[in-house]
Amino acid sequence: MLKTFSTQHWNEHFPDSAQQQAIYSLENGQILYFPQLTFQLTPHEQIFLSPDYADPHTKNISYQASQGRLWGVRHLTDEQHVQLKEMMDRFSKYSLQLIKELLPRYSQQLTMGRTSFRPVQISGRKTSYRKDDKRLHVDAFPSSPNQGHRILRVFCNINPNGEDRVWRIGEPFEQVANKFLLQCSKPVPGIAAFLRLLKITKSYRTAYDHYMLQIHDRMKADDEYQKNVSQEEIHFPPHSSWIVQTDHVSHAAMRGQHVLEQTFYMPIKAMKDESQSPLRILERLLKQPLV
């Protein structure tokens, strides 16, 4: 489940064999794990390790590097706003460096998504089942269709109190898809254009996005499945980092506070073996093109 690397620096160089191993493991649905790769906060950044600065409605603090924009914050002075932005920008740059060194094959075709800081304790958090990431799921976003692109995420646990980030990992994607596709309804003709017109979705919701969303929702809604599907609990201790394709790996975040995360999007043609992508797996099972 975890492919471990002894990396200690975000700009560390990797031999060819490690790069091959990383691609192979990721495309097989494994998590790349870096127990000694940490993100240092400066003394004046320590103050941000508190839920007080996160907007209670969004819970995550978000940053978009391409726009230099920070949102989901409250109670920050102008100076702190700049400092927090700098902290997240640094994490975003470090994540990109790591991907460039370890996954050069992917890095040329990546699009940089959002950076997030998650200073709110997960356990005990009440939310609707659809938004509840304590339930096993594969990632799919209702308003941001990714049209078959892969979701690649870099996480770092920056908890100062020794608290692990605890995840559950479920069964491989093909098994998930086999189980839930049968329950999925077909996309209703015209709906995608309508959602786009009303700006409910940021781009066209393809049939792929439709099925991924349905799988996401149906997995989360199924209490029996959540309890009984074969699964493993994984602990990511403070000062460790990990890379995971969350559209492929069935995951649930159970406990923990203070994680940094960077999202990247990637076309499947960047993969070494695109037949392992969720898009191609769903197309095989449904016997039709989906984008």
Give the x/- contact pattern for Fe ion in 235-274, rule: CB under 5 A.
-----------x----------------------------
With respect to ligand AKG, which residue has the nearer C-beta, 165 or 248? 165
Contact partner at residue 132 from Fe ion, ligand AKG, none, CB < 5 to 8 Å by partner kind:
none
Burial of 75 (0-12, 13-18, 19+ CB in 10 A): exposed
The residue among 101 and 247 lying less far from ligand AKG, judged by its C-beta, is: 247
Question: What's the min distance (Å) between Cβ of 97 and ligand AKG?
Answer: 21
User: Residue 251 CB, nearest distance to Fe ion (Å)?
Assistant: 6
Nearest distance, CB of residue 287 and ligand AKG, angstroms: 29
The separation between CA 40 and the C-alpha centre of its own chain, rounded to angstroms, equals 21
**Contacted entry of Fe ion, ligand AKG, none for residue 209, CB cut-off 5 to 8 Å set by kind:** none
Least distance from ligand AKG to the Cβ atom of residue 45, Å: 20
Q: Out of 152, 243, 259, 282, point to the residue binding ligand AKG (CB under 6 A).
A: 259
Contact between 133 and ligand AKG per CB under 6 A: yes
Residue 86 is a binding residue for ligand AKG (CB under 6 A):
no
Residues 142-201 that bind Fe ion (CB under 5 A): none
Q: How many residues sit in the footprint of Fe ion (CB under 5 A)?
A: 2
Span 104-123, contacts to ligand AKG by CB under 6 A? 118
Q: How far is the CB of 82 from ligand AKG (least distance, A)?
A: 25
Q: Which two tokens stand for residue 266?
A: 């990637």
**d(Cα 211, Cα 215) in Å, to the nearest integer?**
6
32 lies in the site for ligand AKG, by CB under 6 A? no
CA angle 193, 197, 202 (to 5 degrees): 90
Total residues in contact with ligand AKG, by rule CB under 6 A:
8
Task: State yes or no: residue 139 binds Fe ion (CB under 5 A).
Answer: yes
Nearer to ligand AKG, 253 or 282 (CB): 253
Q: What angle do CA 162, 53, 83 make, to 5 degrees?
A: 90
**Residues 229 to 258 in contact with ligand AKG, rule: CB under 6 A:** 246, 251, 253
Of ligand AKG, Fe ion, none, which one sits near residue 73, judging by CB under 5 to 8 A according to partner kind? none
Among 27, 30, 73, 139, binds ligand AKG (CB under 6 A): 139
Minimal CA–CA distance to 129: which of 214, 223, 55? 223
Residues that bind ligand AKG (CB under 6 A): 118, 133, 139, 165, 246, 251, 253, 259
